[in-house]
Structures are given as structure tokens and as C-alpha cells.
Amino acid sequence: MRAAASLHFGTAAETKFNFRKTKGFVSKVLPHRMEVFSANCPLCNKIVDEIEAGKCAGCQLIVYNLSESLELARNYGVRVVPTVIVDGEIKIEGRPDIPFV
């Protein structure tokens, strides 16, 4: 499994700046929509907890259980869990390359 991109949580200003520059994506509208496909495994739960703790107050976090959302997962192209999608774009697949894991 590989990480599609690293995710950094800092101050709200840092978070806004980092999301804006990720893969050339420029967002003029906050909040962000973050979706996580999970299998309720320890790694998935850890990722969800870290995102919940570090997300902006207005950002939306939706967690899908893969076994209950197979059609939606196929539509997004989810191949592994956990998969983190920010504003409709896959950002992390599998074990991320970030310090908290």
C-alpha cells in the first residue's frame, strides 16, 4: 500500500494553505468535505481519529464502512482501506506516510 499524498495538520491557516497547494488544487471555498472509507480496523480507526482531531471546525468528515458502501467505493475508485478523499479527490490510500501511524 502506498500513500497518495501526505496530510499535515497545523494551525487553521497552515491547514488552509496546505490543502490549497496540494496537487495544484486551489480552493476558494471552505469548508472541505473529507470522506474516509474504513473497515473498522485499528489503522482505519487511528486515521479517522487523527483527521477528526485535526480538521477545521467547518470541515465535514464522513466515514463510510466499506462493506456497507461498496457501490460508492467503486464510484470513487477505492482499492484499499483506509482511503481518504478530500473534496472528491483521493489523497491517501492505505498506510499513509505520516508520523502518527
- Report domain extents, the chain: 1-17+30-101
Nearest to 97 by CA among 22, 8, 30, 28: 8
Q: What is the pLDDT of residue 16?
A: 42
pTM equals: 0.67
Question: Which position has the higher pLDDT, 28 or 51?
Answer: 51
1-17+30-101 classified as CATH 3.30.1490.100:
no
Nearest to 55 by CA among 39, 33, 70, 75: 33
pLDDT of 31 above 50: yes
Residue located via cell numbers 490549497: 20
**Positions of E strands within the chain:** 33-38, 60-65, 83-86, 89-93
Name 63's Cβ contacts closer than 8 Å, sequence gap at least 6.
35, 36, 38, 48
